[in-house]
Structure formats: C-alpha cells, structure tokens
Amino acid sequence: MHEVSIVEALIEQVERQLARAGHDGRVTRLEVEIGRLSGISVDSVRFAFELLAPGTLVEGAEMLVDEPKAVCACRACGRRSEIDELAFDCPTCGSDQITVEGGDQMVLRAIDLEEG
C-alpha cells in the first residue's frame, strides 16, 4: 500500500510548511486534492492518515479530499469532456486525436490551524 508513504510525505510537508511559517499550533483541517487518474486510493489515504496522524502536528485534524476528474480534449471535434478513467478515444466522436488533461495530481491545497 503505497498510500502509507504518500501520507508520511504529506505529514512531513505540513510540518515543513508550519516550521517555515513559524507556527507550532495544532492543525485542525487539511484540504487535499487527489485526481481520479492518480492511481491513489482515497480510502487507503484516509486509513493511512488515521494510523499515522497520532503524535504529529496533524493529530485530530480533519482531512477533506477533493477528487477532480480529468478532461479529455479532442482535436478532431473540439469537445472537452470530463472523464473518470483514462481514455484513448474521444467519448463524443471516437477520435484518437485526444489529450487527457489533469486528474493525475495530488496537491495539498490548504492547512487550517487552531486559532489562538
């Protein structure tokens, strides 16, 4: 389950960001974006987060996960279609003249901190 190492890296990134900002308070919420084509299991990330968070700055924090779709852009018909899985043909016209954009990212979008 590579999601454990992904969550370890996520927690380390949060700790680095807080250290850089000079903040040592408690994290209350993380907002993460995991694209549907990333190959990352959101359920496994949530499970790994619950296992790894205790004893860290993110202990007790809520993790919100957005799962954006990718976009299939077709050069033949000009249509742009959201897709949930990797496409090799345009879902509108069937052409193979497509570009798949996005959907493969994992991004830490926001860190919410306890006020104090």
Three-state SS annotation for the chain: CCHHHHHHHHHHHHHHHHHHHCCCCCEEEEEEEECCCCCCCHHHHHHHHHHHCCCCCCCCCEEEEECCCEEEEECCCCCEEEECCCCCCCCCCCCCCEEEECCCCEEEEEEEECCC
Q: What is the mean pLDDT of residues 68-83?
A: 95
pLDDT-derived band of residue 25, with 50, 70 and 90 as boundaries?
confident
What tens digit of pLDDT does each residue of 89-111 get?
999 999 999 999 999 999 999 99
In the chain, where the domains are located: 3-113
Domain 3-113: which CATH number of 3.30.2320.80, 3.40.50.1580, 3.40.50.1260, 3.30.1360.70:
3.30.2320.80
pLDDT-derived band of residue 1, with 50, 70 and 90 as boundaries?
low
Q: What is the mean pLDDT of residues 35-63?
A: 96
pTM of the predicted structure, to 2 decimals: 0.85
User: In this model, does residue 116 exceed pLDDT 80?
Assistant: no
Mean pLDDT over each residue of the chain, to the nearest integer: 93
